[in-house]
């Protein structure tokens, strides 16, 4: 099965693009969703995080307090590396388990930090959702009411647009309305179907 890795900066439109592909019947795997599932109370990955960072990363109810974990890790590269050493192997193992169960000409795997985690080799092609930073900021302020300064810090901590575009096989430019986005996805869907057919029937 042809594996398309979907990536893009925060608020660029990855979730929206994945939904548009799903409307064409394309199976999608979301590594962000997997990451959330892996740190539910009682899961081994959460236990490993508590061992590493202490019970201060939990809410009073025993769930992971993301803001507290982020606050510990954000400014400390060593801690960030330890966090990733716990989470990334578990995420990619679960991704492979899900892939093994899929049957389709091609699938889409949303990997927000594809560049940052060096996950290029895990997919056959890379689809980048690209949009100007000003639009990322506007959409995130609208969706989550996030503070512009925080959004800029997160964007600065991620790979740059240029770094993403450098490894892109295809690019969706999400700088217009949803109709324009859906049109690009429909065209890509036809392209990926053709590619996957050529792979199975050269
Ligand atoms: P995150 O990195 O936070 O997971 P994302 O890359 O998945 O974000 P989306 O959630 O798809 O991005 O989009 C961010 C917000 O912008 C959402 O509220 C979405 O509905 C909106 N949005 C995305 N694309 C468009 C568009 N072309 N026109 C209008 N709104 C859009």
Whether 88 and 119 share a structural domain: no
Spatial CA neighbour of 112 closest among 134, 127, 98, 132:
127
Whether 73 and 54 share a structural domain: yes
Token pair, residue 128, equals 């980048």
Write out the chain's pLDDT in tens, 202 residues: 999 999 999 999 999 999 999 999 999 999 999 999 999 999 999 999 999 999 999 999 999 998 889 888 877 889 989 999 999 999 999 999 999 999 999 999 999 999 988 999 999 999 999 999 999 999 998 887 788 888 898 899 899 999 999 999 999 999 999 999 999 999 999 999 999 999 877 6
Helix (H, G, I), strand (E, B) or coil at 7: strand
Q: What's the number of domains the chain is made of? A: 2
Whether 120 and 201 share a structural domain: yes
Residue 82 neighbours by CB distance under 10 Å: 16
Q: What is the CATH number of the domain that holds 54?
A: 3.40.50.300
Report CA(15)–ligand 1 centroid distance (Å). Answer: 7
14 lines ligand 1 (CB under 6 A): yes
Report CA(129)–ligand 1 centroid distance (Å). Answer: 10
Q: Give the Cα separation of 121 and 149 in Å (integer).
A: 34
Whether 6 and 39 share a structural domain: no
Whether 169 and 198 share a structural domain: yes
Range of the domain at 121: 1-27+105-202
Q: Give the Cα separation of 202 and 197 in Å (integer).
A: 8
């Amino acid at each position: 099965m042809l594996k398309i890795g979907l990536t893009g900066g925060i608020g660029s439109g990855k979730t929206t693009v994945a939904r548009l592909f799903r409307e064409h019947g394309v199976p999608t795997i979301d590594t962000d969703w997997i990451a959330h599932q892996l740190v539910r109370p009682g899961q081994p990955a959460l236990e490993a995080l508590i061992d590493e960072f202490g019970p201060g990363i939990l809410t009073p109810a025993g769930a992971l307090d993301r803001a507290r974990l982020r606050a510990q890790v954000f400014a400390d590269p060593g801690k960030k590396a330890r966090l990733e050493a716990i989470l990334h192997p578990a995420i990619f193992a679960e991704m492979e388990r899900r892939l093994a169960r899929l049957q389709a000409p091609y699938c889409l795997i949303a990997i927000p930090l594809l560049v940052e985690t060096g996950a290029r080799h895990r997919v056959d092609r890379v689809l980048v959702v690209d949009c100007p930073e000003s639009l990322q900021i506007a959409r995130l302020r609208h969706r989550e009411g996030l503070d512009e300064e925080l959004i800029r810090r997160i964007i600065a901590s991620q790979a740059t647009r240029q770094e993403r575009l450098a490894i892109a096989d295809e690019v969706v430019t999400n700088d217009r309305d949803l109709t324009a986005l859906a049109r690009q996805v429909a065209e890509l869907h036809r392209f990926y179907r053709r590619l996957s057919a050529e792979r199975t029937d050269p």
